[in-house]
């Protein structure tokens, strides 16, 4: 029973024959749809439009025959994507012709006098062509699949190869060949385990019977492995992750397919991450730099299988290295650490220090500048690696590693170590910095401590014991105010709270601490929060001596002020006495005499003229004396530009009343810029010093210079007298008076003198 309806194209010009064909087919199990044509044109048209499954062709037609029809059918057949049948239905033809038609592509031929066989011939031919068509489709599909598989094998980054039950390679893609370094011809029909998988990374044999790929064929289960290596043609290996699956054909395992990836980079990155993590922890946990370096060597030697390592570290000026640490994996090479320094450029290590470049020695026996060759060769070490450790372009250390064989450089090890260099350099630099900071912390003359946010001491330096007598155990756990002077506790707490609650990074304040012996000590504190922690760093400078000195200076200043006050009072009393004596002995006497003459004039009018003239002379003289006395009390400053005139007049009067010759100079002075009070100060200082010179200097020459410089006035008074010891105690108040007047204007006084060398008085007063 045929389920489908056949499309049957009949090429026949005899109606009776057409009807016979239809009748025979309709009586069979064939369901059919018919189209009848009787010429070439219609045949060509219908074969395209009708798309027949079956073509039944008569041989002889007007101007057309079955041979031509077969050719048309064959030309069109490649465009048909379904099975078709061409059967020749004709009268008498020779057997040779029938065979030739079938050879040309016809599926069968039926003689018209034997038409009963037609339905069966149609079915048989159709089934035969259907099978051929399906095989053709399958072949095309297989070809397409093979093409895509080939594309997949070529385009994938993963290596892929197949093996048979003997382990021989049946196929392998380009990616796999590139990774293992063999050609396809060197792999096909070769045992892949022996070729690339027969050893472990440590060179130990790896039996094929233990190989998971082989076990895949036995157990018929897939596996994924990520801790093995494949070996290259050049003798090196790489870490792989592979997935092996059995190839099953007709329920039987015929081999296995292996898909693998080179995970060396991933392994190295993982190892690098682990090593860097361990190195960082080593430098965090170990206090000693040498122990840090030794454990770093241990980490590398164990991780990468190098037998011995050395770590050289630079001195302060980075001109030499000392062997700070060694590590031997199996105690192969006994080289003590802390050897003599290797100078810049000396030996291999010194060369690495000098040039900052990596050096690999494939054969130590042939490398003459290696300084300890005999030790290495004696212990069977023949190749060595020397790595510079740089921080900011400067070589701060050199690491050396040794191997037990003469070989080419292990590029994977070099790459791994060089990837760790920056981390090692950072940790060495940080450890150096920590050591320096610890030295600063431990040996600083200032108090340094760590205080928690709970205000308890967490760590203190040696200065606490040196200055205050407290050891670290004495203070740990105490509140920081427990040793603060009771008068300063509130002030200290407020400053601590202020820092915590403000955006300020640093707080400064002063307080007193009580030492273990009960003595007070003054300190100036700098208090700051350590970022991203709950701790404060506090540094205190001992200012006890400064405070005591300031107190002494304040007391001295007070004593001087009292002395000045006493001196002023004494001077005032002396001036009053002098004025009184001047008035009594001079002016009053003149006035008393004038009064007598006036009395005489009253009694003797005739002689009054003479008496009045004498009175007038006496009054004039008294007036002159009063004017002189007034001028001595207040100099005659005519106007704001009269300082120079007043000083010239003072010099003239001094010269008249003494043996002095005075030289007076004004340099770069604009008196309009000088206040009257300051002018009077200059006048009084010069007047005071002239009196001192007259009394003590025993000289006849004085030089006075008043000059304006950049930002101050410079008054110079110099004599060539007997001089004096400036450090000797003096009972007079003259110099003290001069110093006091200068201090009013924030000025200073300098006296340069020695016995027999005169005296130089210099007064500096700021211009503003």
Q: Which residue has the tokens 């009077």?
A: 680
> Token pair for residue 575?
């001036």
Distance CA 313, CA 337 (A): 11
Looking at residue 336, its pLDDT comes to 47
**HSE toward the beta carbon, residue 148, CA cutoff 13 A:** 5
Least confident of 42-51, 517-526, 572-581, 639-648: 572-581
Looking at residue 131, its pLDDT comes to 86
Looking at residue 129, its pLDDT comes to 84
**CA-CA-CA-CA torsion sign (77, 50, 48, 13):** positive
Distance CA 734, CA 695 (A): 11
Looking at residue 147, its pLDDT comes to 72
- DSSP string covering 429-461: HHHHHHHHHHHHHHH-SSEEEEEETT-BEEEE-
CA-nearest of 300, 255, 265 to 282 is 300
Kindly state the percentage of the chain with pLDDT values over 70.
Answer: 87
Topology of 446-542 in CATH?
A: Beta-Lactamase (3.30.450)
DSSP secondary-structure letter at 488? G
Q: Could you confirm whether domain 156-262 is CATH 3.30.450.20?
A: yes
DSSP secondary-structure letter at 361? E
Least confident of 277-286, 371-380, 662-671: 371-380
CA-nearest of 382, 279, 371 to 323 is 371
Same fold, 446-542 and 638-766: no
Least confident of 387-396, 403-412, 562-571: 562-571
499: pLDDT confidence band, cut at 50, 70 and 90?
A: low
Q: CA–CA distance from 72 to each of 57, 59, 104 (Å)?
A: 12, 14, 12
Mean model confidence pLDDT for the chain? 83
- Backbone torsions φ then ψ of 698, nearest 5 degrees: 55, 55
208: pLDDT confidence band, cut at 50, 70 and 90?
A: very high
Mean local confidence (pLDDT), 620-646:
67
Distance CA 509, CA 494 (A): 10
Looking at residue 640, its pLDDT comes to 46
**Confidence check: pLDDT of 317 > 70:** no
Looking at residue 765, its pLDDT comes to 94
**Confidence check: pLDDT of 146 > 80:** no
Q: Euclidean distance between the first and final Cα of the chain, in Å?
A: 130
User: 749 pairs with which residues across the strands?
Assistant: 763
Least confident of 261-270, 576-585, 619-628: 576-585
Q: Where are the domains of the chain?
A: 5-138, 156-262, 269-440, 446-542, 543-634, 638-766
Which H or E element spans position 134?
helix 118-155
Task: Read off the pLDDT of residues 570-613 as tens digits, 9 standing for 90 and up.
Answer: 666 666 676 766 666 676 777 777 777 777 777 766 655 556 77
What's the predicted TM-score (pTM) here?
A: 0.47
Topology of 638-766 in CATH?
A: Heat Shock Protein 90 (3.30.565)
Task: Read off the pLDDT of residues 355-402 as tens digits, 9 standing for 90 and up.
Answer: 889 999 888 877 776 766 777 777 777 888 999 988 878 888 888 888
Using DSSP, state whether 2 is helix, strand or coil.
coil
Using DSSP, state whether 344 is helix, strand or coil.
coil
Looking at residue 585, its pLDDT comes to 64
What number does CATH give the domain 269-440? 3.30.450.40
180: pLDDT confidence band, cut at 50, 70 and 90?
A: very high
Topology of 5-138 in CATH?
A: Rossmann fold (3.40.50)
């Amino acid at each position: 029973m045929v389920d489908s309806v056949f499309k049957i194209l009949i090429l026949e010009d005899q109606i009776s024959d057409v009807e016979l064909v239809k009748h025979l087919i309709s009586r069979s199990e064939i369901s059919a749809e018919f189209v009848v044509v009787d010429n070439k044109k219609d045949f060509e048209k219908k074969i395209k439009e009708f798309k027949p499954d079956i073509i039944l062709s008569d041989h002889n037609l007007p101007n057309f025959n079955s041979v031509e029809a077969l050719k048309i059918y064959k030309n069109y057949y490649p465009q048909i994507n379904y099975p078709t049948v061409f059967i020749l239905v004709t009268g008498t033809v020779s057997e040779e012709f029938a065979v030739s038609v079938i050879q040309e592509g016809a599926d069968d031929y039926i003689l018209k006098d034997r038409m009963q066989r037609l339905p069966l011939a149609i079915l048989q031919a159709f089934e035969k062509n259907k099978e051929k068509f399906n095989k053709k489709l399958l072949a095309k599909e297989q070809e397409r699949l093979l093409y895509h598989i080939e594309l997949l094998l070529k385009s994938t980054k993963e290596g892929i190869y197949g093996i048979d039950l003997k382990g021989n390679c049946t196929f392998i893609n380009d990616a796999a060949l590139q990774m293992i370094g063999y050609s396809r011809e060197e792999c096909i029909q070769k045992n892949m385990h022996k070729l690339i998988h027969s050893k472990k990374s440590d060179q130990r044999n790896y039996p094929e019977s233990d190989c998971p790929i082989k076990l895949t064929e036995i157990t018929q289960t897939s596996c994924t492995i990520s801790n093995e290596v494949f070996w290259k043609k050049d003798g090196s290996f790489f870490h792989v992750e592979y997935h092996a699956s059995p190839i099953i054909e007709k329920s039987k395992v015929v081999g296995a397919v292996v898909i693998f990836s080179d995970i060396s980079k991933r392994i190295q990155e993982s190892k690098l991450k682990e090593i860097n993590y361990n190195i960082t922890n080593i430098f965090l946990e170990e206090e000693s730099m040498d122990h840090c370096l030794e454990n770093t060597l241990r980490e590398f030697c164990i991780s990468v299988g190098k037998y011995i390592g050395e770590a050289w570290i630079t001195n302060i000026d980075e001109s030499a290295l000392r062997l700070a640490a060694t590590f031997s994996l199996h105690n192969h090479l006994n080289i003590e650490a802390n050897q003599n320094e290797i100078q810049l450029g000396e030996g291999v290590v010194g060369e690495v220090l000098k040039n900052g470049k990596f050096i690999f020695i494939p054969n130590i026996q042939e490398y003459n500048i290696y300084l300890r060759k005999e030790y290495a060769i004696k212990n069977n070490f023949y190749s060595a690696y020397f790595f510079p450790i740089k921080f900011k372009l400067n070589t701060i250390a050199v690491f050396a590693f040794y191997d037990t064989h003469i070989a080419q450089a292990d590029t994977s090890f070099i790459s791994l170590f060089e990837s760790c260099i920056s981390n090692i350099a950072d940790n060495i630099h940080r450890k150096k910095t920590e050591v320096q900071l610890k030295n600063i912390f431990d040996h600083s003359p200032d108090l340094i401590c760590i205080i928690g946010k709970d205000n308890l001491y967490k760590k203190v330096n040696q200065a606490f014991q040196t200055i205050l007598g407290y050891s670290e155990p004495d203070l740990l756990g105490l509140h920081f105010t427990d040793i603060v002077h009771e008068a300063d506790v509130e002030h200290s707490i407020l400053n601590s709270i202020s820092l915590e609650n403000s955006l300020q990074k640093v707080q400064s304040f002063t307080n007193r601490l009580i030492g273990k012996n009960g003595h007070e000590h003054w300190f100036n504190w700098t208090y700051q929060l350590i970022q991203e922690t709950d701790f404060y760093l506090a540094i205190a400078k001992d200012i006890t001596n400064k405070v005591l000195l300031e107190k002494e200076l304040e007391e001295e200043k007070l004593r001087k002020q009292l002395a000045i006050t006493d001196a002023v009072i004494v001077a005032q009393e002396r001036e009053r006495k002098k004025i009184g004596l001047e008035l009594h002995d001079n002016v009053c006497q003149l006035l008393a005499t004038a009064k007598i003459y006036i009395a005489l004039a009253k009694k003797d009018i005739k002689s009054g003229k003479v008496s009045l003239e004498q009175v007038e002379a006496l009054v004039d003289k008294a007036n002159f004396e009063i004017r002189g006395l007034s001028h001595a009390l207040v100099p005659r400053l005519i106007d704001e530009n009269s300082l120079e005139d007043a000083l010239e007049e003072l010099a003239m009067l001094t010269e008249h009343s003494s043996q002095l010759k005075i030289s007076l100079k004004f340099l770069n002075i604009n008196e309009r810029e000088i206040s009257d009070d300051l002018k009077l100060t200059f006048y009084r200082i010069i007047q005071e010093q002239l009196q001192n010179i007259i009394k003590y200097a025993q000289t006849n020459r004085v030089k006075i210079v008043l000059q304006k410089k950049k930002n101050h006035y410079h008054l110079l008074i110099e004599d060539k007298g007997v001089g004096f010891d400036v450090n000797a105690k003096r009972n007079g108040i003259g110099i003290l008076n001069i110093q006091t007047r200068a201090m009013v204007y924030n000025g200073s006084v300098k006296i340069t003198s020695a016995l027999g060398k005169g005296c130089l008085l210099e007064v500096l007063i700021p211009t503003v």
